[in-house]
Amino acid sequence: MNRKPDDQRTLSRRSFLAAGAASAAAAGTGWSALAGPPAPLAAGPGDPVRAGLIGVGGRGTRHLETALKNNYVSIAAVCDLDEGRLNHAAGLVEAAGGRKPALHTDYRKLLEDPSIEAVFSATPCVAHYRIYMDCIAAGKHLYGEKPMCISVKEADDIVSQQEKHPQVKVQIGFQRRCNPRTMEGIKLIREDKVLGPLVEGRAAFNNAWGGKFGLGGPGSWQSRVLESGDWMVEQAVHSWDVINWVAGATPRQAFGLGNRELFRSNDPGRDVSDFYCAILEYPGNFIVQFSHSWISPNDPAFSGHHERFIGLLGGIDLTAGKITYSDRSDRKDKTQLVQPEIEDETTLAINSFIDCIRHDRIPHSTVYNGRDATLVGLLVRKAVYERRAVTWEEMLKSS
Ligand SMILES: NC(=O)c1ccc[n+]([C@@H]2O[C@H](COP(=O)([O-])OP(=O)(O)OC[C@H]3O[C@@H](n4cnc5c(N)ncnc54)[C@H](O)[C@@H]3O)[C@@H](O)[C@H]2O)c1
């Protein structure tokens, strides 16, 4: 079940900086305990948040470009294993009128900088766990890309780490959580019950991009289960997060079938499921069918990403923001648009994270929904690999 971080206490930014400095020292990532932490900066809601980035590949560059447009962020440091990417990121900061950021190849050095309040992290999934645990221990607010992590133990550890450091704002990179269309659509379903009892979900991630042989070339992290978690963890986690939110619960069981051989002749080590489909059962006999692939021809008849939900009174296309009421509904207008005009989701999510820090509020996407979304990915993965129905309890015991 989704749990609410009701017990998260909040601190002012000034006391956050003091707490963060002490945490970094305690975590062994910062200053010696004898020397003590540096004096906290006098940051208030009007001051820019000093941020660092860990991982500036495709997604991290998007974080950087978006953060550079936010007047309340200053980029103080960047870390990547790849020097070319580091220099490219530094160039973007300077071109936007900023000072050259400190450049690191070891993220722990970035975390040792007491002046850094917040971190954006976008590395291959396998690296998330260690980086997120260390960021939180160092007292840095974290925008950490999805999936939060790729195993049950990692998910539980990150939740515990957040609970030990409640002053740290952790936002997991599910940008749909900050999208007013998704928020309003889910309110209409759950609170206003405009669809009546939910019966069916239809969702898909049928990709017609990513190159001839699925995303990631031979040997890339996206092509390896150990590094990505497989597509049901790496990519479908966006959908699981939305479906859990709609259901207000996690599934009881899932069944699945798939194919891990499709592009193996191009890359003998490729072991991800470039096609699978799954059926998930949520409480209340709410059944969701899901299809996910990298083989779709580039035609909307075959490709695209959507989450649609049908109740006895109508259906919502949450992705498009449209409700269509059925003849069983007594509404006169049979269609309703939900927030038809929205800004770019990544911009909404990154601005929302900065706003949480400045105004001391809880992020819309937390470690709790991050944990649940990863666990659904693990449930579906086990079902697909074992070609059978797998219960939530079995998944928790085995992953
Ligand atoms: N929210 C979204 O819509 C969205 C979209 C794309 C990717 N993502 C997620 O973002 C993450 C990154 O994906 P990507 O497409 O940018 O991958 P990428 O391969 O383009 O970039 C990853 C970067 O991380 C760097 N890196 C690897 N290990 C590191 C470490 N220990 N310390 C510092 N840097 C390290 C790599 O050198 C590389 O530059 C993944 O978790 C992915 O699932 C999210």
Residues 41-97 have pLDDT tens digits of 435 667 899 999 999 999 999 999 999 999 999 999 999 999 999 999 999 999 999
Q: Is the CB of 176 under 6 A from ligand 1?
A: no
Query: Using an 8 Å Cβ cutoff, are 21 and 264 in contact?
Result: no
DSSP per residue, 137-188: HTT-EEEEPSSS-SSHHHHHHHHHHHHH-TTS-EEES-GGGG-HHHHHHHHH
Q: Is the CB of 155 under 6 A from ligand 1?
A: no
Helix, strand, coil distribution of the chain in percent, nearest 5: 35, 20, 40
Domains of the chain, earliest start first: 13-175+352-366 (3.40.50.720), 177-342+374-398 (3.30.360.10)
Query: Using an 8 Å Cβ cutoff, are 188 and 233 in contact?
Result: no
Nearest CA to ligand 1 atom 27: 123
CA distances from 289 to 4, 94, 201, 396 (A): 27, 47, 6, 22
Query: Ligand 1 mean position to 125 CA, how many Å?
Result: 7
pLDDT at 28: 35
Query: Ligand 1 mean position to 124 CA, how many Å?
Result: 5
CA distance 42 to 49: 12
Cis peptide bond prior to 147, omega within 30° of 0: yes
Query: Ligand 1 mean position to 58 CA, how many Å?
Result: 7
Query: Using an 8 Å Cβ cutoff, are 306 and 201 in contact?
Result: no
Query: Using an 8 Å Cβ cutoff, are 289 and 309 in contact?
Result: no
Query: Ligand 1 mean position to 59 CA, how many Å?
Result: 6
- What is the DSSP pairing of strand 49-54 with strand 275-282? unpaired
Q: Which tens digits make up the pLDDT trace of 181-219?
A: 999 999 999 999 999 999 999 999 999 999 888 888 899
Query: Which ligand 1 atom sits closest to the C-alpha of 234?
Result: 43
Query: Using an 8 Å Cβ cutoff, are 241 and 174 in contact?
Result: yes
- Closest CA relative to residue 385, chosen from 236, 231, 183, 250: 231
Query: Ligand 1 mean position to 235 CA, how many Å?
Result: 13
Nearest CA to ligand 1 atom 11: 122
Which element (helix H / strand E) includes 372?
Answer: helix 367-386
CA distance 2 to 250: 7
Among 29, 54, 56, 59, the mutation site with the greatest number of ligand 1 atoms within 8 A of its Cβ is: 59
Q: Is the CB of 124 under 6 A from ligand 1?
A: yes
Burial grade of 292 (CB within 10 A; 0-12, 13-18, 19 or more): buried
Q: Is the CB of 241 under 6 A from ligand 1?
A: no
Whole-prediction pTM:
0.91
Residue numbers in the chain where pLDDT is lower than 50: 1-12, 14-42
Q: Is the CB of 79 under 6 A from ligand 1?
A: yes
CA distance 137 to 150: 20
pLDDT at 353: 98
Q: Is the CB of 54 under 6 A from ligand 1?
A: yes
Beta bridge partners of 276: 258, 292
Query: Ligand 1 mean position to 333 CA, how many Å?
Result: 45
Query: Ligand 1 mean position to 213 CA, how many Å?
Result: 19
Query: Which ligand 1 atom sits closest to the C-alpha of 221?
Result: 19
Query: Which ligand 1 atom sits closest to the C-alpha of 107?
Result: 32
Backbone angles phi, psi at 150, to 5 degrees: -130, 20
pLDDT at 43: 57
Q: Is the CB of 173 under 6 A from ligand 1?
A: yes
Query: Ligand 1 mean position to 126 CA, how many Å?
Result: 10
Query: Ligand 1 mean position to 123 CA, how many Å?
Result: 3
Q: Is the CB of 81 under 6 A from ligand 1?
A: yes
Q: Is the CB of 57 under 6 A from ligand 1?
A: yes
CA distances from 139 to 118, 282, 351 (A): 9, 36, 20
- Closest CA relative to residue 116, chosen from 95, 146, 138, 134: 138
Among 80, 86, 92, 130, the mutation site with the greatest number of ligand 1 atoms within 8 A of its Cβ is: 80
